[in-house]
Structure 1
Amino acid sequence: MDEKKKMLLADFALLLAATFWGMGFVAGDMAAKAFPTFWIMAVRFLGAAFWMGLLFRRAVKSSMKEDIKAGMILGGLLFLAQPLQIIALRYTTPSKQAFLVTTYVVIVPFISWLVLRKRPQNKAFAAGAMALFGIGLISLSGSLRVELGDALSLLFALVYSFLIVATGICAKKVSPLAMSFYQYLTAGGLSLITMLILGEMPQAYPLVGVGAMAYLMIVNTVGAYTLQNIAQRYTSDTHSAVLLSMESVIGYFCGVVLYGDPFTTRVLIGGLIVFGAVLLSVLNWKEILKRKQA
Structure 2
Amino acid sequence: MLPERRGDLFILSATLLASAGWLFSKEAISGLPPAGFVGWRFLLAALLLLPFCYRTLRQTPTGLLLKAAAIGLVMTLNLIFWIQAISHSEGIGEGAFIMSLAMLMVPPLAWLIFREKPNRQFWLALPIAIAGLFLLTMGSGLSLSLSQLLFLLASLSLAMYFNLNSRFARRIDPMALTCVQLTVTGVMHLIYSGLFEHWPEVIEPEIWGWFAASVLLATSLRFVCQSTGQKYSNVANAALIMMLEPIWTVLISVFWYQEPMPIEKVFGCVLILLALLSYRSRNLLAWYRSRQALNVGGKR
Shorter-chain TM range is 0.7 to 0.9
Aligned partner of residue 120 in structure 1, secondary structure: coil
Structure 1 match to 2:234? none
CA distance in 1, matches of 2:192, 2:268: 44
How far 1:43 moved relative to its partner? 0.7
Question: Of the candidates 37, 42, 47, which is equivalent to residue 34 of structure 2?
Answer: 37
1:280 and 2:281 matched: yes
User: In 2 relative to 1, CA 163–186 (structure 1 residues): closer, same or farther, beyond 3 Å?
Assistant: same
User: In 2 relative to 1, CA 204–80 (structure 1 residues): closer, same or farther, beyond 3 Å?
Assistant: same
5+ residue gaps, structure 1, are: 234-238
Structure 1 match to 2:116? 118
How far 1:90 moved relative to its partner? 2.6
CA distance in 1, matches of 2:218, 2:112: 29
Q: Percent identity?
A: 20
Question: Of the candidates 82, 93, 98, which is equivalent to residue 95 of structure 1?
Answer: 93
Question: Of the candidates 160, 163, 178, which is equivalent to residue 162 of structure 1?
Answer: 160
Structure 2 match to 1:247? 245
Q: TM-score, normalised by structure 1?
A: 0.76
Question: Of the candidates 145, 148, 155, which is equivalent to residue 146 of structure 2?
Answer: 148
Aligned partner of residue 146 in structure 1, secondary structure: coil
CA distance in 1, matches of 2:282, 2:211: 33
Q: TM-score, normalised by structure 2?
A: 0.74
1:1-294 matched pairs, under 5 angstroms: 17-92=14-89, 93-127=91-125, 130=128, 142=139, 145-198=143-196, 200-224=198-222, 244-260=242-258, 267=266, 270=269, 274=273, 277-278=276-277, 280=281, 282-284=283-285, 288=289
RMSD: 4.2
- Of 108-117 and 46-55, more deviation after overlay is shown by 108-117
- Of 32-41 and 90-99, more deviation after overlay is shown by 90-99
Asked which structure has the greater CA Rg, the reply is 2
CA distance in 2, matches of 1:131, 1:225: 28
Q: 1:118 corresponds to which letter in structure 2?
A: E
Aligned length: 285
User: In 2 relative to 1, CA 287–30 (structure 1 residues): closer, same or farther, beyond 3 Å?
Assistant: closer
Structure 2 match to 1:236? none
How far 1:186 moved relative to its partner? 1.0
CA distance in 1, matches of 2:133, 2:238: 16
CA distance in 1, matches of 2:268, 2:191: 46
Contact 2:21 2:214 in 1 (8 A): yes
Aligned partner of residue 210 in structure 1, secondary structure: helix
User: In 2 relative to 1, CA 86–262 (structure 1 residues): closer, same or farther, beyond 3 Å?
Assistant: closer
How far 1:14 moved relative to its partner? 6.2
How far 1:195 moved relative to its partner? 2.1
Contact 1:131 1:273 in 2 (8 A): yes
